[in-house]
Structure 1
Amino acid sequence: MFRLCFWTLRIWAAVRRRLAHRLATRLHRASLAKVGLRSRFQTGIRFDCPDRVSIGADCIFWRGVGVAAEGDDAALQIGDRVQINRDVLLDMTGGLTLGDDVLVSEQAVIYTHDHGLDPHAAAMQLPKTIERDVWIGMRAVVLASCRVIGSGAVIGAGAIVTRDVPAGAIVVGNPAKIVGYRKLVEVAA
């Protein structure tokens, strides 16, 4: 009897989760400026300025993702096949562009503005571009002073990125330093 109750509850919870994710996806499709085919959203995702968010096809947003903006002229452009994992914070105040096939791991933070040394000063908007095939590790922080992360770069878990990252570079540490380069292999389309 216990097994029957256990599995009945597990199945009911799974069905409820799937229905909630479908509802969340429909709500985000209706509120965001553009959402590509087969992009999916879990529950608990928040977008500031949803009319300035454009998302490509086959993207996945896990629960707890926050997309924040200070001001009304912010914009977020996301390419195809991008995965944003749990509890990630994307700041789109200065403008943020994520290329195709980007993976942002859990609890990473990406900033596009800075207040300098005065927390009450107006935000200095600094646009950021994260090129294609970039992997940002768990709990990495990309500060506003980093304007470009090159194609194929890897940001190690817990890294604090303060400068631009060249294409194919592997960076780790606080502050992040280059420790190597990926061997980038072009995949025939």
Structure 2
Amino acid sequence: MNRATSVKDILAEWGTFGADNGRGRLPRKSVNARSRDTVPLAQDYSLSVDEIVANASCHACEDKPFHHMVLAASSQHGVPAGLIHAVIEKESGYDPGATSPKQARGLMQLMPDTARFVGVSRAHSLYDPQININAGTAYLKYLMQSHTTFDKLLAAYNAGPGNVRKYNGVPPFAETRRYIRDVKRYYSATSKD
């Protein structure tokens, strides 16, 4: 018998993003210090979530795929269309059939448990563009309510809110820093006049 997925379940799922070795510590790896620094986090674009919502115009979005679905989700959840497009572009490159090695699915690359958290009970339905966009946007809205800066919001979407809390900000993962940089670049391109 399946039980409902709770907020606690989602936060636990995203809490370590595979980095915990079961003893509450990160696994020891021989990491070259230079490789860690190859993806710097741009600190000069530290908009607050409120500033992002206030500047919700999307000048370059009309010609993007699935734009009418993005507009509907944006209107329903109060998340800027440009941000939704930026996440889709980074996550799947607008491929509704995309599946990650970790089983994230669809345009906004949602994990089945995250989708259940926002009300999508069937993982296969995440390949439906409208369902995926609406679920991903609902999750972005949830994250916007608990993260004050753009960087933390994007880090939580990529690495999980538990990791943002654990590191008291953006986790030191190269993948997450690259993700933030790329989504901000895509978002910036949609908000230019």
TM-score (structure 1 length as normaliser): 0.26
Larger radius of gyration: 1
By relative contact order (CA 8 Å, sep 6+), the higher-ranking structure is 2
TM-score (structure 2 length as normaliser): 0.25
